[in-house]
Structure 1
Amino acid sequence: MNAQQLDLTAAALAQVLTFRQPADVVLSAFFRRERKLGVRDRQEIAETVFAAIRHLQKIQMMLSRPHNKPRRAALAALILGRGLSVHAVESLCDAEEKQWLVELKQHKSDFAATLTTAAELPQWLIECLQQQDWDENQIIAYGRSVMQAAPLDVRVNTLKGKRDKVLVALQAEGLRAEATPYSPWGIRLYDKPALNRHPLFLDGVLEVQDEGSQLLALLTGVKRGQIAVDFCAGAGGKTLAMGAMMAGSGRLYALDVAEKRLANLKPRMVRAGLTNIHPQRIDNEHDARIARLKGKADCVLVDAPCSGLGTLRRNPDLKYRQSGDNVQALQQQQQSILQAASALVRSGGRLVYATCSILEAENQQPLNDFLAANTGWHIEPVHTLLKGIALPSMQGDYLQLNTSEHHTDGFFAAVLTRIK
């Protein structure tokens, strides 16, 4: 990193570390303003900004209110997160900054001895995990696992290709790629190629989708000719996977409150060759436009709005933008959406409740509240639905993916069948 890149990184961190907006949104706006920056400059700045977020607990131990001292935060990120030595960055420092970095390095044992810095998780989140009986080793293992940037998982569109053949083709191009261990459709790419320009992506053979998200689609069990609903479809990653499972037949309704997200789904549908998907913007979960589907759906997937704490590899700033109060507010929304979505399921149909969270407050609790208030539902043990997929640490009837154990994003899923 050169002096100009350091100054620009500090300017970006002064905004990012307030956590008023998502880090990627702040950086995108920053780069739009700094139009003269080259690709290498942007890469250096972005990597150092995210290194600062991933190591913020340690930086905060040495530097109160780091957004007010962003230059030191940037220098600390180079040492802690990008593995540079003090000697390697001394040309960027004055004497006082160099001494501060030396002291930072000397606190290595203190960082390891304190749970917040050892796990790189804020106190509020640690307390949530302790309340669900996670011990220190589990917390540290999870925290360290989400400090690593995620590889790129893609899903092979089974309407247009077979995983084995696609994998061989990617490896023949020199890409470091392997089959995902659990999803039968997934390929994991480790060097993050520019996939949006790849012929297999442009032809709709490949879609970017985390392996955990692929498993959620698999749990829906949708088949040809059925009626299915993706109740919180977003940009439609799971919708597209379900559409392929249905072989482009039947009717698949993609519902969401955000028109922009649904607009992003439409070109992806075309690329995937799917004509059975029907995007529909709704005002909320009680929108009258979904009443016509009441009791008609063979399957409804509810990937509920949540804290997103299972995606910290990709969005490390979420642990600083969320809070215990936010989680409580989300619980009420999750319960309301689950209740509304359940009304669409026919007798004998399937309801899948899912989040990308690791917190029981967003996972088992809303589900338990729903089952307490609604009779006529049977829990389907997930291991019986994922036959032939040997997921480690599977406990009970639900799916709980943990980055430290499964190397996916953190996901929860429960599958219910309406029995009357």
Structure 2
Amino acid sequence: MNLRAEWHPQRVQAVVQALSEALTFAAPADKVLSAFLRAWPRLGQRDRAWVAETYYGVIRHYRRLTVWAESTAPRHLLLAWLVVGRGVSVAQLAPLLRREEGEWLAQRKAAIAGYAWRDAERLSMPDWLWARLVTAYGVEETQRIASSMLQPAPLDLRVNTLKAKRSDVMATFMAEGLEAHETPWSPWGVRLAEKVALQRHPLYRDGIVEVQDEGSQLVTRLVAPKRRQTVVDFCAGAGGKTLVLAALMVNSGQIYACDAIAKRLAGLHPRLARAGATNVQPMAIADEHDPKLARLAGKADRVLVDVPCSGIGTLRRNPDFKWRQTEATVAALTAQQASILAAAARLVKPGGRLIYVTCSILPEENDRVVQTFLAAHPAFAPLPWNELTADWQHGTHGTAFVNGPCPTDGVPEAVRLFPHVHGCDGFFAVVLERRSV
């Protein structure tokens, strides 16, 4: 089934059905859409692309659209998005409109013309999040951050250096007619100009490339493991950063990939095999206090702690997160983050490094957690971001890395990545060195 008209009624109905579940914000939007598309196997590839783009457009601009439409009904929001976000006229939409909808759209266009938009409405953020970002970064910087978060994320890949060079991968994509660019800061990153069915591509099937945002690649680069060292990926999840560490260590030394969700680690085994990574030992743990971790106490050269977080830095690709998180969930996460960081610190040997990472831009999850930890653990001290990134050069322009904005009373040594500054997801990372026993 290939529905050629851009806003064909069946396309519109497909998006409305998907949004009806997604806009409850009870489940991740990407999982809702994946399940929905599996239930529509006859939908053509172009139709699927249109449905996905439109679906995320509505979720990304949800608050602005609810104000514009004076409604939260999925069909109303979709029609509002076609008019506001896609520039479609009411006359063009006439063939798919119900009798009252044309008049309703015309009335809303007239009514909204004189509306005084608040920044949080115009840039589609919940009030609590807008207020926290303004407190941390100021109004103008928050406007830039929020604007960048409304843009769709690009498709970033990481070249597995155990198997190939980036130049060879670039040449393969170009020969296939795909527009590919080197990522600005990561030496292993490739950015594709269009979405492709990557899982069917030989480069992916052979473990030569993995999907990974450039920001994720960069914060893993900060671990800077050396060959034959002992490294712990304390919250490994599905193992994206673990695979980077294995490549950096050229399969030498030992990496322990730990996680409290065994199902995630189970998915790591086939990824390791596909990537040719042989120095990784997955370790399922009950929680950060699991007795199995005792045998690693004081023995690790590097401990990466990519803690569970709000994901506010990834709103370009996960726009539903801003509606699924609340002040209460962030408070619960910060307590968990503090506990995990303190537990992971016990594994670091003297002279070793503890790397704390989140994909959040909220000081509560970043600076405050680190400041509390340092006050209770005087043996650890942060290493300056400019020393850690001294060899980071923009691949195209050859300019040195510039850090993102630091919030009021933030940790000055931390590396901060932002979409509007670096073109990648938002990340916070700080490297803490253990100076004494």
Q: Do Structure 1 and Structure 2 share a fold, with TM-score over 0.5?
A: yes
**Secondary structure of the corresponding residue to residue 268 of structure 2:** helix
Shift of 1:105: 3.6
Separation in 1, partners of 2:130, 2:103: 32
Determine the structure 2 residue equivalent to 1:162. 165
Match of 2:342 among 335, 339, 343: 339
Deviation readout 1:60-119 (Å, 9 max, x if unpaired): 1134551xx222112112223334232221211134212322344446656774202322
Q: Is structure 2 residue 394 aligned with structure 1 residue 391?
A: no
**Secondary structure of the corresponding residue to residue 282 of structure 2:** strand
Deviation readout 1:384-419 (Å, 9 max, x if unpaired): 112222222456311111111111000000001001
Q: Is structure 2 residue 135 aligned with structure 1 residue 125?
A: no
Separation in 2, partners of 1:402, 1:170: 27
Separation in 1, partners of 2:385, 2:322: 29
Normalising by structure 2, we get a TM-score of 0.91
Letter in 2 for 1:195: L
Letter in 2 for 1:205: I
Separation in 1, partners of 2:379, 2:114: 54
Pairs within 5 Å for 1:110-121: 113-121=117-125
How many residues are treated as equivalent by the alignment? 417
Determine the structure 1 residue equivalent to 2:89. 85
**Secondary structure of the corresponding residue to residue 141 of structure 1:** helix
Separation in 1, partners of 2:65, 2:172: 44
**Secondary structure of the corresponding residue to residue 156 of structure 2:** strand
- The range that moved more, 204-213 or 100-109, is 100-109
- The range that moved more, 357-366 or 194-203, is 194-203
Separation in 1, partners of 2:265, 2:115: 44
Match of 2:12 among 6, 9, 31: 6
Question: CA 1:321 to 1:165, structure 2 compared with 1: closer, same or farther past 3 Å?
Answer: same
Separation in 1, partners of 2:37, 2:235: 31
Determine the structure 2 residue equivalent to 1:178. 181
Unaligned stretches of 5+ residues in structure 1: none
Query: Do 2:69 and 2:108's aligned partners in 1 also have CA atoms closer than 8 Å?
Result: no
Deviation readout 1:340-383 (Å, 9 max, x if unpaired): 00000000001000000010010000000000111111211122
- The range that moved more, 319-328 or 57-66, is 57-66
Separation in 2, partners of 1:223, 1:370: 26
Question: CA 1:348 to 1:397, structure 2 compared with 1: closer, same or farther past 3 Å?
Answer: same
Determine the structure 1 residue equivalent to 2:396. none
Match of 2:332 among 315, 329, 333: 329
Question: CA 1:107 to 1:242, structure 2 compared with 1: closer, same or farther past 3 Å?
Answer: farther
Pairs within 5 Å for 1:148-159: 148-159=151-162
**Secondary structure of the corresponding residue to residue 388 of structure 1:** coil
Determine the structure 2 residue equivalent to 1:221. 224
Determine the structure 2 residue equivalent to 1:70. 74
Match of 1:285 among 278, 285, 288: 288
Letter in 1 for 2:311: G
Separation in 2, partners of 1:287, 1:81: 49
Separation in 2, partners of 1:73, 1:163: 42
Unaligned stretches of 5+ residues in structure 2: 1-6, 393-399, 407-411
**Secondary structure of the corresponding residue to residue 222 of structure 2:** helix
Deviation readout 1:263-320 (Å, 9 max, x if unpaired): 2211111111111011111111001111110000000000010000111111101000
**Secondary structure of the corresponding residue to residue 278 of structure 1:** strand
Shift of 1:32: 3.8
Pairs within 5 Å for 1:336-415: 336-389=339-392, 390-394=400-404, 396-415=412-431
